[in-house]
Amino acid sequence: MTMGLGGFQECNQLPMFQEFTKYQGHVTHPARMAEYTGRCFDRAMSEMGPTQLNIPRDYFYGEITAEIPQPARLDRGAGGEQSLNEAAELLAQAKFPVIISGGGVVMGDAVEECKALAERLGAPVVNSYLHNDSFPASHPLWCGPLGYQGSKAAMKLMAQADVVVALGSRLGPFGTLPQHGMDYWPKNAKIIQIDADNKMLGLVKKISVGICGDAKAAAVALTQRLANRTLACDATRAERGDKIATEKAAWEKELDEWTHERDAFSLDMIEQNAQEQTFNGGHYLHPRQVLRELEKAMPEDVMVSTDIGNINSVANSYLRFEKPRSFFAAMSFGNCGYAFPTIIGAKVAAPHRPAVSYAGDGAWGMSLMETMTCVRHNIPVTAVVFHNRQWGAEKKNQVDFYNRRFVAGELDNQSFAEIARAMGAEGITVDRLEDVGPALKKAIDLQMNHGKTCIIEIMCTRELGDPFRRDALSKPVRFLDKYKDYV
Ligand SMILES: Cc1ncc(C[n+]2csc(CCOP(=O)(O)OP(=O)(O)O)c2C)c(N)n1
């Protein structure tokens, strides 16, 4: 009633949220409350994103008689006949097909159907960026994630593809840009893209066939079309299987041996760390070694959320899952402070599953107060904090593009384990490699059998992995004399 008159906390909310929502329902009359509420839920499902229901405050009170709308859910189906037939034809001729299993496979419960298609083709399956739970890691055809800090095996196999099936994937830039010095995207390959949102088809990468459909139904339709035919790739199934196994073994070996970053800055940091006082007689640990130990100690059926930061990005190579809805990454939102609240939400939704969040110490500073939420509301989770005493991802840009002129990159923190204990949770500080796995196991036991939240802070070296977007930054150009000394 008083809108526009400058009341307490008044602001125009609809334009604020417009950019982040797929639909905004503004209730214009109390009698339409149920209708708008139902529509917001329906649109969130059909548009696959958040919607906003805006209720003027005075409509919170009073009585109405309304029909409660039934949820309306889209039956998307497999896609158009013609595009499915064209895709099947391309696949029948393919000599080295590769499948990208994307977020649509997770959202559409399509892992089994993706598996059936992959097995019919004998095709390697790579996860799209940060959708590491879109295909079981124990499957012989699984090759790991594409893109930023992803699997070299996935990228090397991708580079050989003559036909690519992007199943439920936007093919976003982070998952297709060059990585590990490899420009792996197969420029001459025919791309079949399947997405439930037609606006994603051909948006980032040029495609040969676009299928607007449900990932599960489309995978079934393609597998059916290929079931009783001889495919060009049938003859090389065993040979391609060997290639997949060889590339995967080579990547695992490389990861085992990759205990330090290999650039000049990291070497300097290793030296500096050696000179630094060690922690309680322990050591600062290299992030890659820590991530490998955590991977080995992960419990079955785990849910993991990751934050935004350098170590969290490197974690991509070490996070493997057996079933969907297990990995919750910040994706292209890229917001620091994301992982901990997210895993708290996941734990509430699935209390029977172990829940683990990863965060750097900077991002942890943005979210650690939620430890009290866990304690107060009995939501036991496990948080791993990579305590490298810096805003690493930002520093990496200052190393690569600003000649190591660090601006506000250092974080000399207090003990996060002690802060956790002060908030009523358990806290463990890890400064020896052999303690990483046991610390995680102990924290999971506390979570699952004693209802306790535990924060594990792991003392890490200041070494830094590859940056987010080499393509998005360039060296500064200095025009003024006073800046000439700065390269
Ligand atoms: C809310 C928010 N603020 C700032 C950033 C920019 N940012 C991206 S990564 C990063 C550094 C993260 O540092 P830390 O959590 O300590 O992890 P590290 O990089 O050292 O592993 C920052 C500040 C962001 N993505 N989100």
Task: Give mean pLDDT, residues 141-147.
Answer: 97
Q: Is residue 195 part of a domain?
A: yes
- pLDDT surpasses 80 at 486: no
Q: What tokens does 96 get?
A: 């080295």
- pLDDT surpasses 70 at 459: yes
* Nearest residue by C-alpha to atom 4 in ligand 1: 336
* Nearest residue by C-alpha to atom 20 in ligand 1: 392
The pLDDT score that the predictor gives to residue 348 is 98
* 412 in Cβ contact with 262 (< 8 Å): no
- φ, ψ (nearest 5 deg) of residue 131: -115, 50
Q: Which of 254, 274, 303 is the last residue of a domain?
A: 254
pLDDT in tens, 77-123: 999 999 999 999 999 999 999 999 999 999 999 999 999 999 999 99
> Confidence class of residue 4 from pLDDT cuts 50, 70 and 90?
confident
| C-beta atoms surrounding 319 within 10 Å | 25
Same domain, 208 and 190: yes
The pLDDT score that the predictor gives to residue 269 is 86
Q: Which of 232, 254, 276 is the last residue of a domain?
A: 254
Same domain, 418 and 269: yes
Q: Which of 29, 44, 74 is the last residue of a domain?
A: 74
The pLDDT score that the predictor gives to residue 281 is 66
pLDDT in tens, 229-266: 999 999 999 999 999 999 999 999 999 999 999 889 98
What is the atom index within ligand 1 of the atom nearest the CA of 307? 15
**What's the CATH number where 190 sits?**
3.40.50.1220
Q: Is residue 478 part of a domain?
A: no
Ligand 1 contact via 47 beta carbon (within 6 Å): no
* 463 in Cβ contact with 269 (< 8 Å): yes
Same domain, 296 and 422: yes
DSSP 8-state secondary structure symbol assigned to residue 317: G
The pLDDT score that the predictor gives to residue 91 is 98
54 SS3 class: strand
Same domain, 275 and 242: no
Closest CA to 462 of 221, 269, 173: 269
- pLDDT surpasses 70 at 280: no
**Please, which residues bridge with residue 156 across strands?**
none
Q: Is residue 487 part of a domain?
A: no
Task: Give mean pLDDT, residues 299-324.
Answer: 98
Q: Which residue has the higher pLDDT, 479 or 454?
A: 454
Best probe residue, ligand 1, of 269, 285, 308 (max atoms within 8 Å of C-beta): 308
Range in 61-65, 314-318, 348-352, 433-437 the model is least confident about: 61-65
* Nearest residue by C-alpha to atom 6 in ligand 1: 336
How far is the centre of ligand 1, averaged over its atoms, from the C-alpha of 83 (Å)?
Answer: 42
Ligand 1 contact via 332 beta carbon (within 6 Å): no
Same domain, 57 and 129: no
Same domain, 263 and 221: no
How far is the centre of ligand 1, averaged over its atoms, from the C-alpha of 223 (Å)?
Answer: 43
- pLDDT surpasses 70 at 278: no
Same domain, 250 and 174: yes
Ligand 1 contact via 86 beta carbon (within 6 Å): no
What is the atom index within ligand 1 of the atom nearest the CA of 361? 16
Cα–Cα distance measured from residue 54 to residue 40, given in angstroms and rounded to the nearest whole number: 10
Q: Is residue 480 part of a domain?
A: no
* 244 in Cβ contact with 124 (< 8 Å): yes
- pLDDT surpasses 90 at 174: no
Cα–Cα distance measured from residue 283 to residue 274, given in angstroms and rounded to the nearest whole number: 9
451 SS3 class: coil
Q: Is residue 173 part of a domain?
A: yes
* 457 in Cβ contact with 427 (< 8 Å): yes
pLDDT in tens, 182-224: 999 999 999 999 999 999 999 999 999 999 999 999 999 999 9
- φ, ψ (nearest 5 deg) of residue 204: -100, -45
Same domain, 269 and 355: yes
The pLDDT score that the predictor gives to residue 48 is 94
Cα–Cα distance measured from residue 129 to residue 146, given in angstroms and rounded to the nearest whole number: 6
Q: Is residue 266 part of a domain?
A: yes
Same domain, 107 and 202: yes
Range in 45-49, 160-164, 271-275 the model is least confident about: 271-275
State the DSSP H helix or E strand holding residue 71, giving kind and residue range, or none if neither: none
**Please, which residues bridge with residue 406 across strands?**
none
- pLDDT surpasses 90 at 57: no
What is the atom index within ligand 1 of the atom nearest the CA of 396? 19
Ligand 1 contact via 392 beta carbon (within 6 Å): yes
Best probe residue, ligand 1, of 286, 336, 389 (max atoms within 8 Å of C-beta): 336
Q: Is residue 217 part of a domain?
A: yes
Strand ranges inside 128-187, DSSP E: 142-145, 163-167
The pLDDT score that the predictor gives to residue 283 is 84
How far is the centre of ligand 1, averaged over its atoms, from the C-alpha of 111 (Å)?
Answer: 32
Residues near 164 by beta carbon (within 8 Å), at least 6 away in sequence: 97, 98, 99, 100, 158, 186, 189, 190, 191, 192
Range in 129-138, 161-170, 268-277 the model is least confident about: 268-277
The pLDDT score that the predictor gives to residue 345 is 98
pLDDT in tens, 26-47: 999 999 999 999 999 999 999 9
Same domain, 62 and 26: yes
Cα–Cα distance measured from residue 367 to residue 369, given in angstroms and rounded to the nearest whole number: 6
**What's the CATH number where 7 sits?**
3.40.50.970
Task: Give mean pLDDT, residues 396-412.
Answer: 89
Ligand 1 contact via 463 beta carbon (within 6 Å): no
* 255 in Cβ contact with 318 (< 8 Å): yes
Closest CA to 430 of 367, 471, 387, 381: 387
Ligand 1 contact via 360 beta carbon (within 6 Å): yes
Ramachandran bin of 4, using left for φ above 0, alpha for ψ from -120 to 50, beta for the remaining angles: left
How far is the centre of ligand 1, averaged over its atoms, from the C-alpha of 289 (Å)?
Answer: 21
How far is the centre of ligand 1, averaged over its atoms, from the C-alpha of 410 (Å)?
Answer: 12
Q: Is residue 5 part of a domain?
A: yes
Ligand 1 contact via 122 beta carbon (within 6 Å): no
Give the count of domains, the chain: 3
Residue numbers of the domain that contains 30: 1-74
The pLDDT score that the predictor gives to residue 27 is 96
Same domain, 67 and 85: no
Same domain, 45 and 22: yes
- pLDDT surpasses 70 at 279: no
